[in-house]
Structure 1
Amino acid sequence: MSLRHLLLSGFAALTLGAATAEASPLSIVSSVGGAPTGAVRENFDDLALGNTSGQTTATGITVQIGGDAAIVQGSVGGRYAAPSLSGGNGAGFGPGGTAQGDGANGTAYLTTGSTGTDSGSAITLLLPSAMQYFGLLWGSVDGYNTLSFFKGNSLVGAVTGGDVAPLPNGDQGPQGTRYVNITSSTAFDRVVATSSSYAFEFDNVAFNLNPVGVPEPGTLALVAAGLLGLGAARRARRAQRPAA
Protein backbone atom coordinates (compact mmCIF):
# COMPACT_ATOMS: atom_id res chain seq x y z
CA MET A 1 0.00 0.00 0.00
CA SER A 2 1.38 3.44 -0.94
CA LEU A 3 2.00 6.15 1.68
CA ARG A 4 -0.85 8.16 0.18
CA HIS A 5 -3.27 5.24 0.48
CA LEU A 6 -2.09 4.53 4.01
CA LEU A 7 -2.64 8.11 5.10
CA LEU A 8 -6.01 8.32 3.38
CA SER A 9 -7.10 5.07 5.03
CA GLY A 10 -6.00 6.35 8.43
CA PHE A 11 -7.78 9.65 7.87
CA ALA A 12 -10.99 7.87 6.85
CA ALA A 13 -10.83 5.56 9.85
CA LEU A 14 -10.29 8.44 12.25
CA THR A 15 -13.07 10.44 10.64
CA LEU A 16 -15.43 7.48 10.99
CA GLY A 17 -14.36 7.06 14.61
CA ALA A 18 -15.01 10.74 15.29
CA ALA A 19 -18.47 10.51 13.72
CA THR A 20 -19.26 7.43 15.81
CA ALA A 21 -18.11 9.17 18.99
CA GLU A 22 -20.32 12.14 18.20
CA ALA A 23 -23.35 9.84 18.28
CA SER A 24 -23.04 9.99 22.10
CA PRO A 25 -22.66 13.53 23.43
CA LEU A 26 -21.16 12.38 26.74
CA SER A 27 -17.44 12.05 27.39
CA ILE A 28 -16.38 10.35 30.66
CA VAL A 29 -13.16 10.54 32.67
CA SER A 30 -13.22 8.39 35.81
CA SER A 31 -10.34 8.38 38.29
CA VAL A 32 -9.37 8.67 41.93
CA GLY A 33 -8.57 12.37 41.40
CA GLY A 34 -11.12 15.12 41.85
CA ALA A 35 -12.88 17.94 40.01
CA PRO A 36 -10.98 20.25 37.64
CA THR A 37 -10.17 23.86 38.46
CA GLY A 38 -12.71 26.45 37.34
CA ALA A 39 -15.78 24.36 38.15
CA VAL A 40 -18.46 25.35 40.69
CA ARG A 41 -18.34 22.95 43.67
CA GLU A 42 -21.21 21.76 45.87
CA ASN A 43 -20.88 19.45 48.91
CA PHE A 44 -24.55 19.46 50.07
CA ASP A 45 -23.44 19.97 53.68
CA ASP A 46 -25.96 22.77 54.26
CA LEU A 47 -28.97 20.58 53.44
CA ALA A 48 -31.14 18.97 56.11
CA LEU A 49 -30.69 15.22 56.47
CA GLY A 50 -33.64 13.02 55.55
CA ASN A 51 -36.01 12.91 52.58
CA THR A 52 -37.23 16.52 52.44
CA SER A 53 -37.51 17.26 48.72
CA GLY A 54 -37.05 20.63 47.03
CA GLN A 55 -34.12 22.00 49.07
CA THR A 56 -31.88 24.41 47.16
CA THR A 57 -28.13 24.70 47.74
CA ALA A 58 -26.11 27.91 47.85
CA THR A 59 -24.82 27.11 44.35
CA GLY A 60 -28.38 27.02 42.97
CA ILE A 61 -28.99 23.26 42.69
CA THR A 62 -32.48 22.15 43.71
CA VAL A 63 -32.48 18.60 45.08
CA GLN A 64 -35.62 16.54 44.48
CA ILE A 65 -35.95 13.29 46.44
CA GLY A 66 -38.24 10.40 45.48
CA GLY A 67 -39.09 7.04 47.03
CA ASP A 68 -36.59 5.87 49.62
CA ALA A 69 -33.81 8.16 48.41
CA ALA A 70 -32.40 10.52 51.05
CA ILE A 71 -29.74 12.93 52.22
CA VAL A 72 -27.73 10.89 54.73
CA GLN A 73 -24.58 10.74 56.80
CA GLY A 74 -22.53 7.71 57.82
CA SER A 75 -23.35 4.19 56.63
CA VAL A 76 -26.19 1.70 57.17
CA GLY A 77 -25.49 -1.93 56.29
CA GLY A 78 -27.41 -3.16 53.26
CA ARG A 79 -28.75 0.32 52.48
CA TYR A 80 -25.94 2.82 51.83
CA ALA A 81 -22.24 3.35 52.46
CA ALA A 82 -20.32 6.62 52.69
CA PRO A 83 -18.08 7.33 49.68
CA SER A 84 -14.36 6.98 50.36
CA LEU A 85 -12.11 10.04 50.00
CA SER A 86 -8.57 9.62 48.68
CA GLY A 87 -6.15 10.93 46.09
CA GLY A 88 -7.57 14.45 45.91
CA ASN A 89 -11.26 13.48 45.63
CA GLY A 90 -12.10 15.99 48.35
CA ALA A 91 -9.98 18.91 47.11
CA GLY A 92 -12.00 22.12 47.32
CA PHE A 93 -15.05 20.50 48.92
CA GLY A 94 -14.23 21.16 52.57
CA PRO A 95 -15.31 24.22 54.59
CA GLY A 96 -14.35 27.45 52.82
CA GLY A 97 -12.98 25.58 49.81
CA THR A 98 -10.46 23.54 51.78
CA ALA A 99 -9.74 19.88 51.11
CA GLN A 100 -11.60 17.10 52.89
CA GLY A 101 -9.44 14.55 54.67
CA ASP A 102 -8.98 11.03 53.33
CA GLY A 103 -11.16 8.20 54.61
CA ALA A 104 -14.90 7.58 54.71
CA ASN A 105 -16.89 10.72 53.94
CA GLY A 106 -18.13 12.01 57.30
CA THR A 107 -20.39 14.76 55.90
CA ALA A 108 -23.83 14.72 54.26
CA TYR A 109 -24.18 12.94 50.91
CA LEU A 110 -26.97 11.69 48.66
CA THR A 111 -28.24 8.14 48.27
CA THR A 112 -30.78 7.06 45.64
CA GLY A 113 -32.37 4.15 47.43
CA SER A 114 -33.56 1.29 45.23
CA THR A 115 -36.11 1.30 42.41
CA GLY A 116 -36.37 -2.45 43.04
CA THR A 117 -37.90 -1.64 46.42
CA ASP A 118 -39.70 1.60 45.53
CA SER A 119 -40.09 2.41 41.83
CA GLY A 120 -40.07 6.15 42.53
CA SER A 121 -36.66 6.14 44.18
CA ALA A 122 -34.37 8.76 42.64
CA ILE A 123 -32.28 11.83 43.32
CA THR A 124 -32.93 14.61 40.79
CA LEU A 125 -30.64 17.63 40.60
CA LEU A 126 -32.16 20.67 38.92
CA LEU A 127 -29.18 22.75 37.83
CA PRO A 128 -29.27 26.57 37.95
CA SER A 129 -28.86 26.75 34.15
CA ALA A 130 -27.90 24.57 31.19
CA MET A 131 -24.46 23.03 31.67
CA GLN A 132 -21.96 21.05 29.62
CA TYR A 133 -19.77 19.72 32.43
CA PHE A 134 -20.76 17.72 35.52
CA GLY A 135 -18.60 15.91 38.07
CA LEU A 136 -19.41 13.83 41.12
CA LEU A 137 -17.81 11.69 43.80
CA TRP A 138 -19.39 8.30 43.02
CA GLY A 139 -19.17 5.92 45.98
CA SER A 140 -18.99 2.09 45.96
CA VAL A 141 -19.71 1.97 42.22
CA ASP A 142 -22.17 -0.73 41.14
CA GLY A 143 -23.10 -1.76 37.62
CA TYR A 144 -26.78 -1.11 38.34
CA ASN A 145 -26.21 2.59 39.19
CA THR A 146 -27.37 4.99 36.46
CA LEU A 147 -26.87 8.73 35.99
CA SER A 148 -29.14 10.28 33.33
CA PHE A 149 -28.81 13.76 31.79
CA PHE A 150 -31.78 15.73 30.46
CA LYS A 151 -32.43 19.02 28.69
CA GLY A 152 -36.01 19.78 29.61
CA ASN A 153 -37.83 16.50 28.99
CA SER A 154 -35.32 15.24 26.40
CA LEU A 155 -32.74 12.65 27.40
CA VAL A 156 -29.24 13.77 26.46
CA GLY A 157 -27.45 10.62 27.58
CA ALA A 158 -26.80 8.24 30.46
CA VAL A 159 -23.81 6.83 32.33
CA THR A 160 -23.84 3.56 34.30
CA GLY A 161 -21.47 2.17 36.89
CA GLY A 162 -20.06 -0.11 34.22
CA ASP A 163 -18.96 2.96 32.27
CA VAL A 164 -16.87 4.38 35.10
CA ALA A 165 -15.24 1.38 36.84
CA PRO A 166 -13.64 -1.77 35.40
CA LEU A 167 -15.18 -3.89 38.19
CA PRO A 168 -18.32 -2.10 39.42
CA ASN A 169 -18.91 -4.49 42.30
CA GLY A 170 -19.79 -2.13 45.15
CA ASP A 171 -16.29 -1.93 46.66
CA GLN A 172 -16.67 0.44 49.64
CA GLY A 173 -12.94 1.16 49.89
CA PRO A 174 -10.85 3.83 48.12
CA GLN A 175 -10.65 1.87 44.85
CA GLY A 176 -14.44 1.52 44.73
CA THR A 177 -15.02 5.28 44.80
CA ARG A 178 -14.34 7.32 41.65
CA TYR A 179 -14.47 10.99 40.86
CA VAL A 180 -16.29 11.02 37.55
CA ASN A 181 -15.93 14.00 35.20
CA ILE A 182 -18.52 14.13 32.42
CA THR A 183 -18.58 16.60 29.54
CA SER A 184 -21.31 16.86 26.93
CA SER A 185 -21.53 18.39 23.47
CA THR A 186 -25.25 18.92 24.22
CA ALA A 187 -26.19 21.13 27.18
CA PHE A 188 -28.27 19.63 30.01
CA ASP A 189 -30.13 21.19 32.94
CA ARG A 190 -31.28 18.16 34.93
CA VAL A 191 -29.37 15.14 36.28
CA VAL A 192 -31.18 12.08 37.64
CA ALA A 193 -29.48 9.38 39.73
CA THR A 194 -31.19 5.98 40.10
CA SER A 195 -30.26 2.46 41.10
CA SER A 196 -32.17 -0.78 40.63
CA SER A 197 -30.78 -2.11 43.92
CA TYR A 198 -29.35 -0.48 47.04
CA ALA A 199 -27.72 1.94 46.39
CA PHE A 200 -26.11 4.77 44.42
CA GLU A 201 -24.26 7.12 46.81
CA PHE A 202 -22.65 10.36 45.69
CA ASP A 203 -21.36 13.71 46.92
CA ASN A 204 -19.08 16.61 45.93
CA VAL A 205 -20.78 17.65 42.73
CA ALA A 206 -19.08 20.09 40.34
CA PHE A 207 -20.54 21.81 37.28
CA ASN A 208 -19.70 24.35 34.61
CA LEU A 209 -21.39 26.11 31.70
CA ASN A 210 -18.65 24.90 29.34
CA PRO A 211 -17.00 21.53 28.72
CA VAL A 212 -13.95 20.97 30.94
CA GLY A 213 -10.92 18.91 29.93
CA VAL A 214 -12.15 17.73 26.51
CA PRO A 215 -9.05 16.42 24.66
CA GLU A 216 -8.12 17.91 21.33
CA PRO A 217 -8.32 15.50 18.35
CA GLY A 218 -4.51 15.59 17.99
CA THR A 219 -4.16 12.32 16.06
CA LEU A 220 -6.69 13.45 13.48
CA ALA A 221 -4.82 16.73 13.07
CA LEU A 222 -1.51 14.89 12.59
CA VAL A 223 -2.96 12.71 9.83
CA ALA A 224 -4.42 15.76 8.08
CA ALA A 225 -1.05 17.51 8.33
CA GLY A 226 0.61 14.42 6.86
CA LEU A 227 -1.71 14.51 3.84
CA LEU A 228 -0.97 18.18 3.29
CA GLY A 229 2.76 17.51 3.57
CA LEU A 230 2.55 14.65 1.06
CA GLY A 231 0.79 16.90 -1.44
CA ALA A 232 3.38 19.67 -0.99
CA ALA A 233 6.27 17.23 -1.46
CA ARG A 234 4.80 15.91 -4.73
CA ARG A 235 4.30 19.43 -6.08
CA ALA A 236 7.92 20.25 -5.22
CA ARG A 237 9.22 17.14 -7.07
CA ARG A 238 7.15 18.03 -10.13
CA ALA A 239 8.55 21.58 -10.14
CA GLN A 240 12.12 20.23 -10.04
CA ARG A 241 11.58 17.62 -12.82
CA PRO A 242 13.39 18.67 -16.10
CA ALA A 243 11.20 19.29 -19.14
CA ALA A 244 11.09 16.43 -21.70
Structure 2
Amino acid sequence: MKLVKSVVSAATLAAIATVATAGSAAAISFNITNGINNPFTNASNQGAYSDFAGRKGVTTVDFNSGFDSGATSVDIKGQDGSKFMTYNFSNGAATSSGKTGVYSDKWAPAGANGEVNTSKYLAVFKGNTVTMTFQKTMNYFGIDWGAISGGNIFSFFRNGSLVNSFSTADVNPVAPVRASQHGGEGNGYLHFYSTSASDIFDEIRITQLGGGGFESDNHSFQEGTGAFNAKDVPEPTVTLGLMAMGGAFLLKRNRKQTA
Protein backbone atom coordinates (compact mmCIF):
# COMPACT_ATOMS: atom_id res chain seq x y z
CA MET A 1 0.00 0.00 0.00
CA LYS A 2 1.25 3.48 -0.78
CA LEU A 3 1.94 5.80 2.13
CA VAL A 4 -0.12 8.69 0.78
CA LYS A 5 -3.28 8.64 -1.25
CA SER A 6 -4.78 11.89 -2.51
CA VAL A 7 -8.37 11.11 -3.35
CA VAL A 8 -11.68 12.55 -4.52
CA SER A 9 -14.48 13.96 -2.18
CA ALA A 10 -17.72 15.86 -2.60
CA ALA A 11 -19.39 14.88 0.66
CA THR A 12 -18.50 16.43 3.99
CA LEU A 13 -19.11 16.40 7.69
CA ALA A 14 -22.05 17.74 9.71
CA ALA A 15 -21.43 19.76 12.83
CA ILE A 16 -22.19 17.70 15.91
CA ALA A 17 -20.30 19.29 18.78
CA THR A 18 -18.83 22.76 18.39
CA VAL A 19 -16.24 23.77 20.96
CA ALA A 20 -14.06 26.84 21.28
CA THR A 21 -11.19 27.80 23.50
CA ALA A 22 -12.35 30.27 26.12
CA GLY A 23 -11.95 33.85 24.94
CA SER A 24 -11.36 32.83 21.34
CA ALA A 25 -13.55 33.29 18.28
CA ALA A 26 -12.10 30.13 16.76
CA ALA A 27 -14.14 26.94 17.00
CA ILE A 28 -13.05 23.54 15.70
CA SER A 29 -15.92 21.05 15.66
CA PHE A 30 -15.72 17.27 15.74
CA ASN A 31 -17.71 14.05 15.75
CA ILE A 32 -16.99 10.33 15.96
CA THR A 33 -17.97 7.44 13.69
CA ASN A 34 -16.89 3.81 13.29
CA GLY A 35 -14.95 4.83 10.21
CA ILE A 36 -14.81 2.52 7.20
CA ASN A 37 -12.63 -0.29 5.83
CA ASN A 38 -9.70 0.65 3.61
CA PRO A 39 -11.59 2.32 0.73
CA PHE A 40 -8.84 1.47 -1.76
CA THR A 41 -8.60 -2.30 -1.08
CA ASN A 42 -11.57 -2.98 1.26
CA ALA A 43 -9.13 -4.58 3.71
CA SER A 44 -10.48 -4.74 7.27
CA ASN A 45 -7.18 -5.50 9.05
CA GLN A 46 -5.56 -2.08 8.53
CA GLY A 47 -7.56 0.00 11.00
CA ALA A 48 -10.51 2.29 10.33
CA TYR A 49 -10.32 4.97 7.65
CA SER A 50 -12.06 8.32 7.40
CA ASP A 51 -15.61 8.32 6.03
CA PHE A 52 -14.19 10.86 3.54
CA ALA A 53 -11.19 8.81 2.38
CA GLY A 54 -11.50 8.09 -1.32
CA ARG A 55 -13.19 11.41 -2.03
CA LYS A 56 -12.04 14.58 -3.73
CA GLY A 57 -9.52 16.74 -1.94
CA VAL A 58 -8.80 14.31 0.91
CA THR A 59 -5.22 13.08 1.45
CA THR A 60 -4.67 10.00 3.64
CA VAL A 61 -1.47 8.83 5.38
CA ASP A 62 -1.54 5.17 6.47
CA PHE A 63 2.01 4.91 7.98
CA ASN A 64 2.74 1.61 6.24
CA SER A 65 5.97 2.84 4.65
CA GLY A 66 8.40 5.74 4.70
CA PHE A 67 8.90 6.12 8.47
CA ASP A 68 12.40 4.83 9.24
CA SER A 69 13.94 4.32 12.67
CA GLY A 70 15.64 7.44 13.98
CA ALA A 71 14.01 9.77 11.45
CA THR A 72 13.37 13.25 12.83
CA SER A 73 11.21 14.33 9.90
CA VAL A 74 9.27 12.62 7.12
CA ASP A 75 8.00 14.56 4.11
CA ILE A 76 4.69 13.55 2.57
CA LYS A 77 4.01 14.23 -1.10
CA GLY A 78 0.64 14.93 -2.61
CA GLN A 79 -0.78 13.25 -5.69
CA ASP A 80 0.87 15.83 -7.93
CA GLY A 81 4.28 14.91 -6.52
CA SER A 82 4.79 18.17 -4.66
CA LYS A 83 5.41 18.41 -0.93
CA PHE A 84 2.13 18.32 0.99
CA MET A 85 3.21 18.13 4.65
CA THR A 86 5.90 16.97 7.08
CA TYR A 87 5.78 14.79 10.20
CA ASN A 88 8.40 16.00 12.71
CA PHE A 89 9.55 13.89 15.70
CA SER A 90 11.15 15.97 18.45
CA ASN A 91 13.41 13.08 19.54
CA GLY A 92 13.37 10.85 16.47
CA ALA A 93 11.03 8.05 15.42
CA ALA A 94 11.35 4.56 16.89
CA THR A 95 10.25 1.31 15.23
CA SER A 96 9.71 -0.70 18.43
CA SER A 97 6.80 -0.70 20.88
CA GLY A 98 6.58 1.62 23.87
CA LYS A 99 8.30 4.57 22.22
CA THR A 100 7.21 7.42 19.96
CA GLY A 101 7.37 6.13 16.41
CA VAL A 102 5.71 3.99 13.75
CA TYR A 103 5.34 0.22 14.16
CA SER A 104 2.82 -2.62 14.50
CA ASP A 105 1.69 -4.18 17.78
CA LYS A 106 -1.51 -5.11 19.65
CA TRP A 107 -2.29 -1.47 20.50
CA ALA A 108 -2.82 -0.52 16.85
CA PRO A 109 -6.21 1.26 16.55
CA ALA A 110 -8.94 -1.20 15.61
CA GLY A 111 -10.86 -1.55 12.38
CA ALA A 112 -14.34 -0.16 11.81
CA ASN A 113 -15.93 -3.20 13.47
CA GLY A 114 -13.21 -3.90 16.02
CA GLU A 115 -10.99 -5.98 13.74
CA VAL A 116 -7.35 -6.47 14.75
CA ASN A 117 -5.15 -3.97 12.93
CA THR A 118 -2.01 -5.73 11.68
CA SER A 119 -0.61 -2.67 9.89
CA LYS A 120 1.72 0.03 11.18
CA TYR A 121 0.42 3.03 13.12
CA LEU A 122 1.70 6.17 14.86
CA ALA A 123 2.33 6.08 18.63
CA VAL A 124 3.32 9.10 20.72
CA PHE A 125 4.76 8.85 24.24
CA LYS A 126 5.79 11.42 26.83
CA GLY A 127 8.86 13.45 25.94
CA ASN A 128 8.67 13.05 22.15
CA THR A 129 6.06 15.29 20.52
CA VAL A 130 4.99 14.76 16.91
CA THR A 131 4.32 17.92 14.91
CA MET A 132 2.58 17.95 11.53
CA THR A 133 3.31 21.00 9.39
CA PHE A 134 1.47 21.73 6.14
CA GLN A 135 2.36 23.62 2.98
CA LYS A 136 -1.14 25.12 2.87
CA THR A 137 -3.91 25.68 5.39
CA MET A 138 -6.19 22.76 6.31
CA ASN A 139 -9.83 22.69 7.40
CA TYR A 140 -10.22 18.95 8.13
CA PHE A 141 -8.22 16.36 10.09
CA GLY A 142 -9.37 12.81 10.83
CA ILE A 143 -7.77 9.99 12.85
CA ASP A 144 -8.44 6.39 13.76
CA TRP A 145 -8.01 6.73 17.53
CA GLY A 146 -7.74 3.59 19.63
CA ALA A 147 -7.00 2.27 23.13
CA ILE A 148 -6.94 5.87 24.31
CA SER A 149 -5.01 6.94 27.42
CA GLY A 150 -5.30 9.98 29.63
CA GLY A 151 -2.92 12.78 28.68
CA ASN A 152 -3.55 12.67 24.91
CA ILE A 153 -3.42 16.25 23.60
CA PHE A 154 -4.12 17.76 20.17
CA SER A 155 -3.12 21.36 19.49
CA PHE A 156 -3.99 23.16 16.25
CA PHE A 157 -1.93 26.18 15.14
CA ARG A 158 -1.88 28.74 12.36
CA ASN A 159 1.21 30.85 11.66
CA GLY A 160 2.60 29.75 15.03
CA SER A 161 -0.44 30.90 17.03
CA LEU A 162 -2.70 28.46 18.86
CA VAL A 163 -6.11 28.03 17.22
CA ASN A 164 -7.51 25.44 19.61
CA SER A 165 -6.36 22.62 21.88
CA PHE A 166 -8.14 19.41 22.90
CA SER A 167 -7.27 16.92 25.63
CA THR A 168 -8.97 13.53 25.72
CA ALA A 169 -8.60 11.39 28.82
CA ASP A 170 -10.54 8.40 27.49
CA VAL A 171 -13.29 7.78 24.92
CA ASN A 172 -14.57 4.56 26.49
CA PRO A 173 -17.90 6.10 27.58
CA VAL A 174 -18.78 7.12 24.01
CA ALA A 175 -16.58 5.11 21.64
CA PRO A 176 -18.61 3.16 19.05
CA VAL A 177 -16.17 0.22 18.81
CA ARG A 178 -15.12 -2.10 21.66
CA ALA A 179 -11.95 -3.94 20.72
CA SER A 180 -11.30 -7.27 22.45
CA GLN A 181 -7.58 -7.01 21.65
CA HIS A 182 -7.52 -3.85 23.78
CA GLY A 183 -9.38 -5.43 26.68
CA GLY A 184 -12.67 -3.88 25.59
CA GLU A 185 -11.32 -0.32 25.46
CA GLY A 186 -12.99 2.07 23.06
CA ASN A 187 -11.93 2.88 19.51
CA GLY A 188 -13.41 5.19 16.90
CA TYR A 189 -12.70 7.50 13.98
CA LEU A 190 -12.62 11.16 15.05
CA HIS A 191 -13.22 13.99 12.58
CA PHE A 192 -11.96 17.51 13.45
CA TYR A 193 -13.05 20.32 11.13
CA SER A 194 -13.01 24.09 10.85
CA THR A 195 -16.24 26.06 11.08
CA SER A 196 -14.89 29.32 9.61
CA ALA A 197 -11.77 30.96 8.19
CA SER A 198 -10.75 31.88 11.74
CA ASP A 199 -9.97 28.28 12.69
CA ILE A 200 -8.19 26.84 9.67
CA PHE A 201 -4.75 25.53 10.60
CA ASP A 202 -1.30 24.80 9.17
CA GLU A 203 0.19 22.83 12.07
CA ILE A 204 -0.95 20.07 14.46
CA ARG A 205 0.97 18.91 17.52
CA ILE A 206 0.33 15.53 19.15
CA THR A 207 1.56 15.29 22.73
CA GLN A 208 1.31 12.69 25.48
CA LEU A 209 1.41 13.81 29.12
CA GLY A 210 2.07 11.20 31.80
CA GLY A 211 1.93 7.44 31.34
CA GLY A 212 0.34 5.53 28.50
CA GLY A 213 0.58 6.30 24.82
CA PHE A 214 -1.31 8.14 22.10
CA GLU A 215 -2.13 5.63 19.35
CA SER A 216 -3.58 6.71 15.99
CA ASP A 217 -3.69 5.54 12.39
CA ASN A 218 -4.91 6.51 8.93
CA HIS A 219 -4.73 10.29 9.21
CA SER A 220 -6.80 12.18 6.63
CA PHE A 221 -6.53 15.86 5.70
CA GLN A 222 -8.24 18.38 3.45
CA GLU A 223 -6.85 21.71 2.33
CA GLY A 224 -9.08 24.74 2.82
CA THR A 225 -9.15 28.47 3.43
CA GLY A 226 -12.58 28.55 5.08
CA ALA A 227 -15.14 26.35 6.81
CA PHE A 228 -15.21 22.65 6.02
CA ASN A 229 -18.29 22.07 3.85
CA ALA A 230 -21.03 20.41 5.91
CA LYS A 231 -23.40 18.75 3.44
CA ASP A 232 -24.11 15.13 2.50
CA VAL A 233 -22.52 13.95 5.73
CA PRO A 234 -22.33 10.56 7.46
CA GLU A 235 -24.38 10.35 10.63
CA PRO A 236 -22.22 10.37 13.76
CA THR A 237 -22.24 7.23 15.85
CA VAL A 238 -22.39 9.27 19.05
CA THR A 239 -22.15 12.86 20.17
CA LEU A 240 -19.18 13.47 22.42
CA GLY A 241 -19.88 14.82 25.89
CA LEU A 242 -17.56 17.66 26.82
CA MET A 243 -16.38 19.45 29.93
CA ALA A 244 -14.65 22.81 29.56
CA MET A 245 -11.59 22.94 31.79
CA GLY A 246 -9.35 25.99 31.57
CA GLY A 247 -9.83 26.38 27.83
CA ALA A 248 -9.16 22.70 27.05
CA PHE A 249 -11.84 20.07 26.55
CA LEU A 250 -11.74 16.72 28.29
CA LEU A 251 -13.77 13.62 27.62
CA LYS A 252 -14.86 11.71 30.69
CA ARG A 253 -12.32 9.05 31.59
CA ASN A 254 -13.22 5.54 32.76
CA ARG A 255 -10.06 3.57 32.12
CA LYS A 256 -6.37 4.16 31.54
CA GLN A 257 -4.50 2.18 28.93
CA THR A 258 -1.26 0.48 29.83
CA ALA A 259 1.42 0.74 27.17
TM-score band, normalised by shorter chain: 0.5 to 0.7
Matched length: 174
Distance in structure 1 (CA, Å) of the matches to 2:102 and 2:19: 40
Percent identity of the aligned residues? 24
Q: Report the CA distance shift for 1:166/1:69 in structure 2 as closer, same or farther (over 3 A).
A: same
Once the two structures are TM-superposed, the CA of residue 135 in structure 1 deviates from its matched residue by 0.6
- How far the C-alpha of 1:203 sits from its partner, in A, is 1.2
2:85 is equivalent to residue 61 of structure 1: yes
Structure 1 contact 84–174 (Cα < 8 Å) conserved: no
- Residue 29, structure 1, aligned to residue 17, structure 2: no
Aligned to 2:156: 149
Structure showing the higher strand proportion among its residues: 2
When the two structures are superposed, what TM-score results if normalisation uses the length of structure 2? 0.58
Matches of 1:152 and 1:66, distance apart in 2:
19
Q: Which structure's residues are more often helix, by fraction?
A: 1
SS of corresponding position for 1:56: strand
Cα offsets for 1:51-85 (capped at 9, x unmatched): 4111112332211112452122224xxxxx21111
Amino acid at match of 1:206: S
Equivalent position amino acid for 1:131 in 2? M
Q: Does 1:183 align with 2:199?
A: no
1:106 equivalent in alignment to 2:118: yes
Query: Amino acid of the residue matched to residue 195 of structure 1?
Result: Q
Deviations for 1:130-168, whole angstroms, at most 9, x for unmatched residues? 101111111212232111111121011112224865368
Greater alpha carbon shift after TM alignment, 40-49 vs 150-159: 40-49
* 2:251 corresponding residue in structure 1: none
Report SS of the residue matched to 1:84. Answer: coil
CA distance in 1, matches of 2:160, 2:202: 10
Displacement of 1:128 after TM fit? 3.0
Q: How does 1:157-168 map to 2 (within 5 A)?
A: 157-162=164-169, 166=173
Contact 2:112-2:188 within 8 A present in 1 as well: no
Q: How does 1:228-243 map to 2 (within 5 A)?
A: none
* Unaligned 5+ runs, structure 2: 1-17, 36-48, 79-83, 92-98, 233-259
Q: Pairwise mapping of residues 66-85 of structure 1 onto structure 2 (< 5 A)?
A: 66-67=90-91, 68-75=99-106, 81-85=107-111
Give the superposition deviation at 1:175: 5.9
Q: 2:129 aligned to 122, 129, 153, which one?
A: 122
Say if 1:142 and 1:134 are closer, same or farther in 2 by CA, change over 3 A. same
The alignment's C-alpha RMSD in Å is 3.1
Greater gyration radius: 1
What TM-score, normalized to structure 1? 0.61
Structure 1 unmatched ranges of 5 or more: 1-17, 76-80, 88-101, 217-244
